Structure 1
């Protein structure tokens, strides 16, 4: 281990290292908070003035963070935020946790990684650690981030240290948070891996698993989410077939779960949501083209999952038709627009596509979500209504997010027509003949 690596490890161990986090979103802010709680001085960087102002005022905007903890860390000077990247010259370690969206052609947009790395590169100094946490395709760290940083004249593995450590954030998870989720780390050199792993071991409680390169760590993250993407696609395809055959897919899955080996339950729904599962597999699809390989299984699962919002609306249309009503002109109450239950995150929410398909077919749509009071989509503004009032006028109620706040007994009782795409009403004992499921 070279002397710069050894010196940085000593700073990390005795908590004299100053730590930076670029990107104060769902990944970056919880990471910054954990690093500050571990005893490090933390500087958070973001290009959005509003986020910086909120953090510096001690106001939390991420569900998985305890408000009082953030406020206390800011008050005692352990954590501050800024839009001024010149403060990078003061940090010993910096993590980059910025978005990596897909464009309309489902190709990765790494512009946020590039711009953030360029901002860091301007103030890169000897003995510094840079860790990329943004989910991306294998090769990004070494093919994009490393060359930008080395434009500074410093050499990776000798003058500074570079690694990839994929984020594993699951918003709303009651058991696993940033603090106790195992972490994978892969550096460009052995020293890079050791330095990055040491930082995480001094911050997190979860196991730190070292791999041989950034590419392995990048591919590992893609495998995690592709595994879920494909298995959810299978569950959705089974749901479509079961619907045609008049079989309850939810009962089928419960029965399959009784096998103690060889089966892991995945569940169908109105489509995929969140920043990871709908997007990450397509980073790999993009990269595979460079090797003249077509990722057929990933793309087929994607087609099935993308079809689910349309499938939901088709079924709603049939249900209305059975009751001698047309979807065109019908009043539809959507319950839940967050992409999963009990959170306020709408990223890639399938409910948005359900709304699009409903309105395209002439439906009059209103929604309720206890976590999302209003939102804009497709140039239109939507505001959450009181579901107990709206249900009285609704021709059909569609459950798109299974929030635990809802009184499902009352919903089933009062809905003229109910379509449950999440099996949220599974515990309802009365009026079960009124429940129509995916």
Structure 2
């Protein structure tokens, strides 16, 4: 059965896009070679934690959305959007394996006049140097002549109800002006504003800049938080004061580490240097180094607090609060909680956790005990560590109940807990 749109990759990018398309009345299929998303969606459940609600999925299915694992469906659409995951590999470079598989599956069935869009986070040059050759070789068609090709990097903030796909401007860079306009015509049905980049590389680099901006600024405040603690300065009060400046400053806040789907990327380092002049972004490398140190710093603070109260990490009962990467979400992508729990376990601590959005949490494939009663667990624990400030947490009440509380998010009232 023909459809207007195929969303390839049913993850944190693809599912919200498919939902928006169905809401806009676009006949949409969702293709993923992994059978798990198909099975979960058909059962009315989200295959990605924190992305869509069960009621949202039911509305999508009743609106005509069809998840599939059959690549033959890709040959019957007018527009195909690739939202395949592009995680970091062991060498901290982007793994394009899933994107390549998606491109080959689409290329074998690509028809003339189709518009192909790339939303996955990729290094600059990927649309032209990786995706384009795969599509042309597999289809025998020429990009920019026989079919449209453009990049429009995903900008969604999972769980954010204020900034949605509809009111977040969409950056588009096409291989040709006609490609850009074809992409703009599609996204114009889903979002209020379309921003035209000069080409695919400018669109790809926009995502790199946005992500690196976040990581560099978080690294700055993380480093300053450590310095201020050593100097006896309340850094949270410093941020409170600084953010009153109406120009030239944007507040960022420190934390136990940096999670999320957006990863810092240095396109000037190998293997990207074949497509770039090879000038490493030293700020990005340093920011990653600083942010990667934060879980270790949290562990040192935990050990110091326990020692100051006559206790050792070995045998201590430590309760971790909030194991997701952002507040009020079930998404655990790259959250620092797992690394912190692992290191505490290695030091002999007895770990428990509480998170209203995560009912089952495993570290090293072993289940971590979940606290049923938050206050009772905090009162029984030698140390409670707030890693994520979910809205449901009564932090003032928690500070009263906990024997010892370390707040890594600066969310508790001043003087109520030890803050990062």
TM range (shorter): over 0.9
Structure 2 distance, partners of 1:72, 1:315, is 47
* Corresponding residue number in structure 2 for 1:8: none
Contact 1:107 1:283 in 2 (8 A): no
Work out which of the residue numbers 298, 306, 309 in structure 2 matches 1:320: 306
The CA deviation at 1:57 is: 4.1
Matched, 1:311 2:297: yes
**Partner residue in 1 for 2:93:** 107
Q: Are 1:209 and 2:195 matched, yes or no?
A: yes
Give the secondary-structure state (helix, strand or coil) at the position aligned to 1:357.
Answer: helix
Q: Give 1:350's aligned residue.
A: 336
Query: Which residue of structure 1 lines up, in the alignment, with residue 102 of structure 2?
Result: 116
Q: Contact conserved, 1:89 with 1:123, CA < 8 A, in 2? A: yes
2:348 is aligned with 1:366? no
Q: Aligned runs of 1:288-307 on 2, under 5 Å? A: 289-290=273-274, 291-307=277-293
- Cα offset for 1:338? 0.3
Output the CA distance in 2 between the equivalents of 1:367 and 1:92.
47
1:169 pairs with 2:156:
yes
Distance in 2 (alpha carbons) for counterparts of 1:348 and 1:433: 30
Given the superposition, is the C-alpha separation of residues 328 and 123 from structure 1 closer, same or farther in structure 2, using an over 3 Å criterion?
same
- Whether the 8 Å contact between 2:86 and 2:122 is mirrored in structure 1 is yes
Task: Quote the residue 1:237 is aligned against.
Answer: 223
Matches within 5 A, 1:85-234: 85-151=71-137, 152-205=139-192, 207-234=193-220
Distance 2:261 2:106 in 1: 24
Compute the TM-score of the two structures, normalised by the length of structure 2. Answer: 0.95
Matches within 5 A, 1:374-413: 374-386=360-372, 387-413=374-400
Count of residue correspondences: 414
- 1:280 to 1:45, Cα distance in 2 relative to 1, 3 A: farther
Give SS of 1:391's match.
helix
Indicate if the aligned counterparts of 2:318 and 2:349 stay in contact, CA closer than 8 A: yes
The answer as to whether partners of 1:106 and 1:282 remain within 8 angstroms in 2 is no
Residue 61 to residue 179, structure 1, CA distance change in 2 (3 Å): farther
Give the ranges of 4+ consecutive aligned residues of structure 1 lying more than 6 Å apart after TM superposition: none
Q: Distance in 1 between matches of 2:358 and 2:55?
A: 22
Q: Using the alignment, how far apart are the partners of 1:336 and 1:85 within structure 2?
A: 39
Gaps of 5+ in 2: none
TM-score (norm 1): 0.91
**Secondary structure of 1:43's aligned partner:** strand
- Cα 1:46/1:283, change in 2 over 3 Å: farther
Contact preservation (8 Å) 1:334, 1:365: yes
In 2: Cα distance, 1:145 partner to 1:24 partner:
19
Relative to structure 1, the CA distance from residue 51 to residue 17 in structure 2 (aligned partners, 3 Å threshold; closer, same or farther) is closer
Q: Which residue of 1 aligns with 2:265?
A: 281
Change (3 A) 1:297 1:367: same
Which stretch of structure 1 is more off in the superposition, 58-67 or 190-199?
58-67
Aligned twin of 2:258: 272
Deviations 1:90-129 (A, max 9, x none): 1110000011111122111100110110010110011111
Shift of 1:351: 0.9
Name the CA shift for 1:425/1:26 in 2 (closer, same or farther; >3 Å).
same
Q: Does 1:329 align with 2:315?
A: yes
Partners of 2:189 and 2:394 lie apart in 1 by 44
SS of the aligned residue for 1:392 comes to helix
Structure 1 unaligned blocks of 5 or more = 1-15, 427-431
Does the C-alpha gap of structure 1 residues 232 and 346 become closer, same or farther in structure 2, counting only changes over 3 Å? same
CA distance in 1, matches of 2:268, 2:259: 18
User: What CA deviation, in whole Å up to 9, does each residue of 1:201-250 have, x standing for no partner?
Assistant: 01223x10011111100000100010011000000010010011011110
What is the CA–CA distance in structure 2 between the aligned matches of 1:369 and 1:73, rounded to whole Å? 28
TM-fit CA distance, 1:38: 1.1
1:143 aligns to what SS in structure 2? helix
Corresponding residue to 1:418 among 388, 405, 408: 405
Distance apart, 1:286 and its partner CA: 4.3
Distance 2:85 2:291 in 1: 22
CA 1:204–1:229 in 2, change beyond 3 Å: closer, same or farther?
Answer: same
Q: Is the 8 A contact 2:258 2:291 kept in 1?
A: yes
